[in-house]
Amino acid sequence: MRTLYYQDLILLPNQEVSATFLMGKVISALHLIFVEDEHKTGCVNIGLGFPRFNREKRTLGNIVRLYASSPDILLNSSCNSRLLRLTDYIKKGEIQPIPNIVQGYVQYRRIQFKENKERLVRRYAQRHHVDMKQAEKEYSCYKNPENNLPYVTLDSLSSGQRFRLYIDEVLQVENNNTLVFSSYGLIKSGALPYFSNST
């Protein structure tokens, strides 16, 4: 496996700004950076990890770990103006090589639920040519299926609609595939080294 580097972004919530809100802002900013990067290079060069992911508490934690094949890629992203706007709320860890000994491998994947009230409402409005308020009335009694995955709330770049980006953590024994990341920095292929020396 090629050498990987990482950098932790530690969220600094306060009484006015929650960790959940900050996580959404950080992932949204990173998503925009990744989309720009993908347009320039044809791929997303940075992956995201969440060393304090906790399914039982439905939280991604307060650390976003960035992974890349070179320190320069991480440096360029962390100096991007989109992240610099959040400087008061983020502590940037040092860029370091992945430790030689890891506990295993992990995938952070986007999970999309087919039965989702917001999606059903939008679809109903489009198919029946009604406004969103009328479509919401049609689904007023509908309850989304239960799930226990952490999520962040984001605004869609294409539609402007708010949506939940559900993220799952899947532990792996080994990594046999080339790393490929989505425009959210989540795994499409491969797995990231799993280690716990988070700041």
The pLDDT tens digits of the residues spanning 78-110 come to: 778 888 899 999 999 999 999 988 899 999 999
Check whether 20 has a pLDDT greater than 70. Answer: yes
- Residue 134 confidence class, pLDDT cut points 50, 70, 90: confident
Contacts of 74 (CB under 8 A, 6+ apart): 5, 6, 7, 46, 66, 68, 95
User: Distance between CA atoms of 65 and 20, rounded to whole angstroms?
Assistant: 16
Q: Among residues 68, 96, 86, which one has the least CA distance to residue 22? A: 86
- Residue 140 confidence class, pLDDT cut points 50, 70, 90: confident
Q: How high is the mean pLDDT of the chain? A: 88
Residue pair 172/189 in contact (Cβ under 8 Å)? The answer is no
Would you state the structure tokens that stand for residue 79, as one six-digit string? Answer: 């100096």
User: Distance between CA atoms of 32 and 87, rounded to whole angstroms?
Assistant: 17
State mean pLDDT over 11-24.
92
Domain 5-110+170-194 has what CATH class? alpha beta
- pLDDT at residue 18, rounded to an integer: 92
- pLDDT at residue 51, rounded to an integer: 95
pTM: 0.83
Residue pair 140/151 in contact (Cβ under 8 Å)? The answer is no
- pLDDT at residue 155, rounded to an integer: 86
- Residue 154 gets which letter from DSSP? E
Could you tell me which residues are beta bridge partners of residue 5? Answer: 68, 97
At 151 the three-state DSSP class reads: strand
- pLDDT at residue 165, rounded to an integer: 92
DSSP conformation letters of 15-34: SSS-HHHHHHHHHHHHHHHH
Count CB neighbours of 3 within 10 A.
Answer: 8
State mean pLDDT over 17-38.
93
Compare 59 and 161 and report the one with higher pLDDT.
59
> φ and ψ at 17, to 5 degrees?
-125, 115
- Residue 197 confidence class, pLDDT cut points 50, 70, 90: low
User: Distance between CA atoms of 59 and 54, rounded to whole angstroms?
Assistant: 5
Q: Among residues 59, 63, 91, which one has the least CA distance to residue 78? A: 91
Could you tell me which residues are beta bridge partners of residue 111? Answer: 166
Residue pair 135/125 in contact (Cβ under 8 Å)? The answer is yes
- Alpha-carbon distances of 106 from 47, 117, 196, rounded to whole Å: 12, 30, 12
Domain boundaries, the chain: 5-110+170-194
- Residue 199 confidence class, pLDDT cut points 50, 70, 90: low
